[in-house]
Amino acid sequence: MNIKNVYSAESLNEAITLLKANEGKAKILAGGTDLVGTIREKIHPEPVEDVVSLKALDELKAVREGDGYVEIGAMVTLTELQKNEVIRNSFPIISEAAGTVASPQIRNAATIGGNICQEPRCWYYRYQDDKFNCLRKGGDRCNAVVGNNLYHSVFGPSKVCQTPCEIHCPNHTNIPGYMEMIRKGDVHGAAEILFSVNPLAAVTGRICPHTCEQHCNRKKYDESVSIREVERYLGDYILEHPDQFFRAPEHGTGKKIYIIGAGPAGLTAAYYLRSFGHEVTVIDKNEHIGGMLYYGIPAYRLPKEILGRIQSVLEGMGISFRMNVQVGKDIEMETLSEEADALFVGIGAWVSLNLNFEGRDAKGILNALQLLYKVAEHEDQKLGKEVVVIGGGNTSFDVCRSALKMGAEKVTLLSILPYEEMPAEEEEITAAEQEGVVIRELTTLKEVVKKPDGSIGQLIYQKMKKRDEDAEGLDNVIPEEGVTMTDTADSVVIAIGQGIDMQGFGQLQEKSKGIDLADKDAGKTVLEDIFAAGDAAHGPATVVKSIFQARQTAAAIDESFRSEVAGNVSAGKAAISFSEKALLNSERVKPEELPLEQRNLYTEISKTIDELGFSSEAERCLNCGCVAVSPSDLGAALTALDAVVVTTEREIPIGEFFDTPAGGSTVLGGGEIVTSIRIPKSAALSRQIYFKHRTRKSIDFPIVSIAIDAEMEGETVQEIRIAFGAVSPVPRRAYEVEAFLKGKPLTKETALAASELAVRDCMALAENEYKINLLKVLLRRNLERL
């Protein structure tokens, strides 16, 4: 063991100071042996350096009776719990639970505080040298879900941290939350979770690069969940029921806000700011809303009708649109600033980056945005039979596919990067190749030889090579000396990226990637009451990232007007479970697409998945929680008694104590120490039963434990509390069973029905179905004992 220091604290304050001095690497020794094992086996990513013992703190070793409660010091040993007359008489299930722990020698040292704070007894969690780095310790998955799960939860997982799909979504959407609602059959509830952070789901459900799917844990077993297709279904549902989502505020604030730019950032900010009660006007230089959504993404990927519907529902909320108005030309920034309480700048990246080569001024060379703008406006653009596109991102492939649909017979994409490093989505590359686009990797345009009339004659390509085969990126490619090729083309389209044009925006200073921000997270510029988000503030990025930035900035604008930020900005935590079907191998749903011969510029190629596909994808979601169970023998008994855990900082109801974030088994924060457990005397009902099933009488942890606290009148149940241990990630109160039993005679038939009800929501993993039957039998038998 690599322990540097072992301290014997002489006071709670000293213990707290020692813990905080080396937070994360200092641990409490509460008397038992659990900590020693975790240190010796090095089960955590960060080694434990300091151990702080509480054995000298006598004030934590007493059992005291107060006014209406009994308080048990955190350092009271399990042996003392067995012997103490107050505990034995008032709360016999505590004494019984303590007596089932391990061996007499261990019970002499182990304490009630240590017992409820011990770490999970999962093989993957406990494996030496942190081999599996499981979800609860900051990893990306719970290995037990599809691995060894003989002793794990039969009531689903616990959400101990954000899942990989949430983390890698730029908008941090609660994807598992809405998948859970879909599995429950609540499509509207799922849509509300998504809509709370994304009012443009019908857009992102079609064009989002879905980085969430790239990190989906399911991908390790078969295929990732089709998250974007599910989002598209929900986005369409939202637009089909606009009155239930895009609601006008009941009360206005009197604050006036101008939003410059009707792209994804501007539309998002407009929705949130209007929902907060502010008067919102959106100003844009173009005829149609959407910005790059309208003019930069072809209709076969994102139909213009979707954007028209979004404008309609936003107008229904009371948002005004002033189109064909250019700031700096038709109206000045200073005027807008004087008229409004705040300005939000959400302009897009409308400047195409240039590429220098000999012959750049030849006729027939244009940039991507010029072409896509004309396509969006149905303007005629003659490209000829042979088209060469320079790029590698999504926009370049939009250009390639559009060129084919405009009549080009041969379209070639030049990528200076290797094929596998092109930044475009894999689906876009595949679709382009299926439609006939030829990709020449590690190739760039060196020269255009012009014809006498100035048009494109011959193209000379420069072959590139990787400087280092193990490295990636533009800095890693260099010309392959002496290796060139020739080709012909009627048109060349440059699609290597976009920049920001700040002309007309007064004192807002342009950086290399956008507007200067005084507060990046809040989108606050260096000028008072002027905010910015999206491409203007952070440089060209994805639509979903712009939505996130605009949502945060809208909240900051609202906060600047009031003492409290209005709600409706982030989604709440949903219940966590998954379907048994998620444990079976399955293919992801694929949307139906138009045949190649039917594809054109203005008809959407893919269709929204049907209800069956929508539901099946939600069933495939593993919900990525932890299925390890709480190992505390006393946890179930304390839960049945409605105990309260008292710490150096607060009082925590036992039902919340085990609802842990990542990194442990309780909600205790850094430097927080359990000082006592307080049990109300009113919890001491007349009949109490504790039963623990394990493979051996001594040493072993529970496979199933049951704690019952009941008040009987003859055979009739007057009051009852039931808690289960070792069957779920936290000790589980059986509230439905309690309600069912209350007021009923406790016959064998009633006990049987109660036991069936207790396991109704159980879900077996591959190896632990026996625990469901065991729980049902043990509950029935112990109810009969009452």
Q: Please choose, from the candidates 210, 329, 197, 217, the residue with its C-alpha nearest in 3D space to the C-alpha of residue 268.
A: 197
Do 80 and 223 share a domain, yes or no?
Answer: no
* Contacts of range 479-482, beta carbons closer than 8 Å, 24 or more positions apart: none
Q: How many Å apart are CA 230 and CA 168, to the nearest integer?
A: 17
pLDDT for the residue numbered 578: 86
Q: Are 149 and 727 in contact (CB under 8 A)?
A: no
pLDDT for the residue numbered 212: 96
pLDDT for the residue numbered 1: 58
Q: Looking at this protein, which amino acid is placed at residue 661?
A: P
Q: Is residue 342 part of a domain?
A: yes
| Run of H or E residues at 365 | strand 365-367
Do 299 and 232 share a domain, yes or no?
Answer: no
Q: How many Å apart are CA 730 and CA 724, to the nearest integer?
A: 9
Using alpha carbons, list the distances in angstroms from residue 571 to 125, 191, 609, 624. Answer: 30, 11, 24, 18
Q: Please choose, from the candidates 275, 302, 304, 296, the residue with its C-alpha nearest in 3D space to the C-alpha of residue 199.
A: 275
Number of H helices, E strands in the chain: 29, 29
How far apart are the two ends of the chain, measured CA to CA in Å? 49
Do 328 and 461 share a domain, yes or no?
Answer: no
- The half-sphere exposure of 42 on its side-chain side, counting CA atoms within 13 A, is 10
Q: Please count the other Cβ atoms lying within 10 Å of the Cβ belonging to residue 574.
A: 19
Q: How many Å apart are CA 277 and CA 252, to the nearest integer?
A: 4
Give the end of a domain, one of 512, 528, 557: 557
Q: Is residue 17 part of a domain?
A: no
Do 512 and 540 share a domain, yes or no?
Answer: yes
pLDDT for 335-367, tens place per residue?
999 999 999 999 999 989 999 999 999 999 999
Positions of the chain with pLDDT lower than 70, given as ranges: 1, 33, 509-514, 563-575, 661-663, 698-699
pLDDT for the residue numbered 510: 60
Q: Is residue 568 part of a domain?
A: no
Q: Is residue 607 part of a domain?
A: yes
Q: List the CATH number of the domain containing 87.
A: 3.30.465.10
Q: List the CATH number of the domain containing 371.
A: 3.50.50.60
Question: Which phi and psi (to 5°) does residue 69 adopt?
Answer: -155, 165
Using alpha carbons, list the distances in angstroms from residue 405 to 3, 207, 270, 487, 602. Answer: 68, 19, 35, 22, 10
Q: Which structural domain, as residue segments, surrounds residue 383? A: 353-498
Do 231 and 311 share a domain, yes or no?
Answer: no
Q: How many Å apart are CA 538 and CA 521, to the nearest integer?
A: 11
DSSP for residue 247? P
- The half-sphere exposure of 726 on its side-chain side, counting CA atoms within 13 A, is 25
pLDDT for the residue numbered 563: 56
Do 346 and 416 share a domain, yes or no?
Answer: no
Is 242 exposed, middle or buried, given 0-12, 13-18 or 19+ CB atoms closer than 10 A? middle
Q: Are 517 and 553 in contact (CB under 8 A)?
A: no
Q: How many Å apart are CA 633 and CA 698, to the nearest integer?
A: 13
Q: How many Å apart are CA 55 and CA 35, to the nearest integer?
A: 14
**Given phi > 0 = left and psi -120 to 50 = alpha, else beta, which region is 254?**
left
pLDDT for the residue numbered 500: 87
The model carries a pTM of 0.87
Do 173 and 305 share a domain, yes or no?
Answer: no
Place of tokens 């029905």: 753
Do 523 and 609 share a domain, yes or no?
Answer: no
Q: Are 641 and 91 in contact (CB under 8 A)?
A: yes
Q: Are 144 and 136 in contact (CB under 8 A)?
A: no
pLDDT for the residue numbered 659: 84
Q: Please count the other Cβ atoms lying within 10 Å of the Cβ belonging to residue 506.
A: 15
Q: Is the dihedral of CA 217, 222, 224, 225 positive or negative?
A: negative
pLDDT for the residue numbered 698: 61
Q: Is residue 257 part of a domain?
A: yes
Q: How many Å apart are CA 70 and CA 646, to the nearest integer?
A: 12
Q: Is residue 13 part of a domain?
A: no
Decide the pairing of beta strands 498-499 and 716-725.
unpaired
pLDDT for the residue numbered 511: 54
Q: Are 348 and 536 in contact (CB under 8 A)?
A: yes
Biggest CA–CA distance in the chain, Å, is 109
Q: How many Å apart are CA 777 and CA 773, to the nearest integer?
A: 6
Interior angle at CA 509, CA 503 and CA 515, nearest 5: 90
Place of tokens 């016959």: 747
Do 639 and 528 share a domain, yes or no?
Answer: no
Q: Is residue 441 part of a domain?
A: yes
Do 581 and 596 share a domain, yes or no?
Answer: yes
Do 485 and 548 share a domain, yes or no?
Answer: no
Q: Looking at this protein, which amino acid is placed at residue 474?
A: L
Locate 388 and state its tokens. Answer: 């060469």
Q: How many Å apart are CA 278 and CA 255, to the nearest integer?
A: 5
Question: Which phi and psi (to 5°) does residue 711 adopt?
Answer: -115, 120
Q: How many Å apart are CA 378 and CA 368, to the nearest integer?
A: 15
pLDDT for the residue numbered 699: 59
Using alpha carbons, list the distances in angstroms from residue 674 to 16, 117, 297, 648. Answer: 11, 9, 57, 7
pLDDT for the residue numbered 139: 86
pLDDT for the residue numbered 571: 37
Radius of gyration of the chain from its Cα atoms, rounded to whole angstroms: 32
Do 759 and 682 share a domain, yes or no?
Answer: yes
Our count of domains for the chain comes to 4
Q: Is residue 155 part of a domain?
A: no
Measured in whole angstroms, the distance separating CA 273 from the mean position of its chain's CA atoms is 24
